[in-house]
Each structure stands twice: as C-alpha cells, then as structure tokens.
Structure 1
Amino acid sequence: MAEPLLKIAGADVFYGASQILFGVDFSVEKGQTMALLGRNGAGKSTTFKMIAGLAPPSRGEVRLAGETVSGKPPYRIARAGIGYVPEDRQVFPEHTVDDNLIVGAKKGPRGDAHWTTERIYEVFPILAGMKTRLAGRLSGGEQQMLTIARTLMGNPDVILLDEPSEGLAPIIVQAIADLIRRLRDMGVTIILAEQNMHFCLGIATHATVVDKGQIVYRATIEELRHNEEIKSRYLAV
C-alpha cells in the first residue's frame, strides 16, 4: 500500500515551556481536500506552522511523499512541495497583482510548472482584470484570492489554507468556496483549517477535528455531516 502524500505521526509542539500539540496524527492522500476543524485556539494554525516548518515538532515527524521534512528549515519544506496560505494573507501591498504572482513563481519539487500566470488568470478571472492594481488596494476577499494564487505559483504538492473564510462578507465567502471547489476538482491536494464547519461541508472530502491540541475525530465529510455528537461537542460555537 502506497504511503499517503502527507503524513503527520505522533507530533508534539511546544511554544517555549507550553505544549500546544499532543501526539497529532493524521494523513492526507493525493487529491483530497481535508478540513482541519476546531474551535478558536484548538491548535489548527499551530498544526499548519508545524507542517510548514515554522514550529517544528519536538517529537514525531511530518512526511511528504515518503520523505521526512520535519526538522528542515521552512524554505526547504516549501521547495519539497508545501504551499502555505497564512490566515493574515500577507500580500506585498506596494506591488501589483502581477508582481505578487511573479514573486511566488517557482517550479515544483519535480521540476514541474503547471501553474503559470496565464493559468492563474484563467482560474482566477477576478485577478485578470487587476493585473496592474497595487495589492494593498484590493479588498480582503481579493487579497485572499491573490494569496492563494501566489502560493499556487510555487507549484506545491499540498496547499495549506488557514481560515480562508475569516472576516469576509458572505458573498465573498461563497466565491472563495467556489474557487476551492474548482481547485479540488482539478486534483489539487488541500488542507483547510476552519472554525466554520458549514463552509467546509460543501468543499472538503474528509475531516479531521482537533481539540485542545489533540486529534479527536477523523472521517469523511459525509460521516461528519451526520455525526451530531461530534459536531455539538467540538464544533458548536
């Protein structure tokens, strides 16, 4: 049986003397869209920082395409195929949309370049009409789309989306959902960290629930949809 594309095994993470993640275990197969769900402070963003190398595990490991990447510097993990979209977007505000995309451009870990500016503008038509606009003058939703697009320009094997619906108007949240669904249908492997379970139900294929730094549930999104106990215990606001 082939190893999953991304595997986290028994990972502990500390911030100073405080332990944040406890024995985190889950895996993602190629082409899956995994929703990493949990309340605010449950450990979702720390899990992403661990995968990206910004908060390395003190125990356990992160494996990508069969190779251990935990312990490597973040730029090496990015080159290995991890694309990270942080929750605060982090565009280059004084540069144009086109410049932001070019800054992110690199070949994938096997030298592939599926994502080019031409393909980005085809998949993100809203950005195509803003090529020369300064990124700092985009709306929050437009900046979110630009950050996702810039990450794809690095041709990653896995893309980590941290709270992509947070702070956006409902109509923009729907546009982001449509975009993620299109990427999923194109075969992009996505992990989606969200508090908003309803946002994920129509997008994700699988779900992993984290609570107080521990994985408490793993299933398909359909199994989660019908599990009222898990939803009320760990996901109700």
Structure 2
Amino acid sequence: MAEAATLEDRPAAARAALLEVENLDVYYGASQILFGLGLAVGEGDTVALLGRNGAGKSTTFKAIAGIAPPRRGSVRLRGREMAGAAPHRIARAGIGYVPEDRQVFPEHSVEDNLLIGEKKGPTGKREWTLERVYDVFPILAGMKGRMAGRLSGGEQQMLTIARTLMGNPDLVLLDEPSEGLAPIIVAEIGKLIGTLREMGVTILMAEQNMHFCLAVATHAAVIDKGVVVYRDTIAGLRANREITDRYLSI
C-alpha cells in the first residue's frame, strides 16, 4: 500500500483553502478572457499560476483583487465572498496585490513608499513593521532615503513586495515577479520568495518562467486560454512532461 501523502505533497485544492476561486468568467468589454476558471490556495502555500503570455494570468489576479470584476463565479477568502466587492474592501479583507508593472511612487522615498502601504491586517495583526521589513529586505534598509524612481527594476520589485507586506495581508498576489529582470536579480527575487514561504506567507504567483517557479513554489496551476487545465504539487508538475511540453514550452 502506498504511503499517505505528506501535507505539502497534497494538491492545494485538497487542503484547507485560504482562497477558493470557482467558475470565474471575466470579460473585457465583449471579449471573454476567463472561462469558468477555478483554483485554490492553501494557507502557507506558494502556488504558481503558470501559462504563456496572454493565457489569462494577470486577468485572474485583477479579478481576485476586484480590478476586473467577474461577470460570474465566486472568489472566497476564508469562506467570505469577495467577488464583486470594491478593490479597497478586498485589500482590507486581507488580499495584497503586487502588480506586474510595480507601480512605486517615484517621487517618494523608499521608506515613504513602505509607510504608504502600512496598515493592520484584517484581524488587527501587525506582524509586518518597518523593522521587520528592513530585517527581511536588508537592501531596502540601506536605501530607505532614496527616491523610489531611482531604484533599479529589481530593487523596485523588492520595494513593491515589501510595501504590500506592510499591509499585513493574509494572501499576497505576486504578478510576474521575474519579468524583465536580469538573471542574477531573478535569483535574488527567488531567494526572497523562498524566505517568505519559510516564514509562512501565503502567495499566489503568476509566472511564465516555469524554471523559476519550480525552484520557489510548492504547488502549481497551469492556465491556457482562460481555463485552468492542470493543478498539482510542484513535484507532480516537474514529472509531467506532457503538460509542460503542451502548455509551457516556448
């Protein structure tokens, strides 16, 4: 008889879900982008939403965050329905969103950017403070007085992640964290995500870079043409050449 799977070996959908997305339809005007999309994120997981450019990854994140409200379907955070709620209410409920274009406040200092994002979590928790951010992101501590517009792309990516954590979210949506960055910076971002995973931060990450995700995620969902076509652990995805060749090869 096969041994029972460990908690991390089970598909995210089989675990107690922090986030549950079901039957999500999203349109831009008359064009439908997501078709009955479903996925789940267990508490403490780092789930990679993988797919080629244009597959619907960023639209999925915008739908979860309330920026692209779904026409049909459900988005539940700890069982509480979020679909159709205003973006600021979704943020206050515990979903932090790191957009793919970073969106720092360029004429404000690094520390001011962090303070702009500061708030208590949905249950009043304040685990992420300036002190903790500077401990986890020491590069930001050394440039806290620098204008954010003068940072490199990789430094801005770290700043936007840190600013989101200052809001003490239950779940972080991390959209294309490796996009447009040099390989050495991608490696640093990967180390940072690994550190956050070890700290118990729950992350849903959209990515095209499968190899990056294989190194940092615990679970994977593959999206193609607005539909999630595969969900499993990272080990399961790594072993499934049919899926990687069909949906993730360039």
TM-score (norm 1): 0.99
Q: Is the 8 A contact 1:6 1:27 kept in 2?
A: yes
How big is the shift at 1:56? 1.1
Is 1:94 aligned to residue 107 of structure 2? yes
Q: Is the 8 A contact 1:3 1:66 kept in 2?
A: no
RMSD after superposition: 0.9
Aligned to 2:4: none
How big is the shift at 1:4? 1.1
CA–CA distance in 1 between the matches of 2:17 and 2:178?
27
Aligned to 2:35: 22
Letter in 2 for 1:81: G
Q: Is the 8 A contact 1:33 1:189 kept in 2?
A: yes
How big is the shift at 1:111? 0.4
Aligned to 1:40: 53
How big is the shift at 1:3? 4.9
Letter in 2 for 1:154: G
What is the DSSP-based 3-state SS (H/G/I as helix, E as strand, rest coil) of the residue aligned with 2:97?
strand
How big is the shift at 1:2? 7.9
How big is the shift at 1:106? 0.2
How big is the shift at 1:157? 0.3
CA–CA distance in 1 between the matches of 2:238 and 2:191?
19
- Structure 1 gap segments, 5+ residues each: none
Equivalent pairs counted in the alignment come to: 237
| Structure 1 residues 126 and 14: CA distance shift in structure 2, 3 A | same
CA–CA distance in 1 between the matches of 2:49 and 2:157?
19
Percent identical among aligned pairs is 70
CA–CA distance in 1 between the matches of 2:69 and 2:76?
13
What is the DSSP-based 3-state SS (H/G/I as helix, E as strand, rest coil) of the residue aligned with 1:5?
strand
CA–CA distance in 2 between the matches of 1:44 and 1:13?
12
Q: Is the 8 A contact 1:3 1:65 kept in 2?
A: no
- Structure 2 gap segments, 5+ residues each: 1-13
Is 1:162 aligned to residue 175 of structure 2? yes
Deviations 1:19-64 (A, max 9, x none): 0000011111100000000000000000000000001111111000
Q: Is the 8 A contact 2:16 2:43 kept in 1?
A: no
CA–CA distance in 1 between the matches of 2:49 and 2:135?
28
Aligned to 1:197: 210
CA–CA distance in 1 between the matches of 2:115 and 2:219?
32
Is 1:70 aligned to residue 80 of structure 2? no
TM-score (norm 2): 0.94
CA–CA distance in 1 between the matches of 2:126 and 2:116?
15
The correspondence for 2:139, drawn from 122, 126, 142, is: 126
Aligned to 1:231: 244
CA–CA distance in 2 between the matches of 1:143 and 1:114?
22
Q: Is the 8 A contact 2:15 2:42 kept in 1?
A: no
Deviation beyond 6 Å, 4+ runs, structure 1 = none
CA–CA distance in 1 between the matches of 2:153 and 2:215?
22
Letter in 2 for 1:177: G
CA–CA distance in 2 between the matches of 1:149 and 1:95?
15
Q: Is the 8 A contact 1:38 1:211 kept in 2?
A: yes
Letter in 1 for 2:139: I
CA–CA distance in 2 between the matches of 1:173 and 1:117?
24
Aligned to 2:44: 31
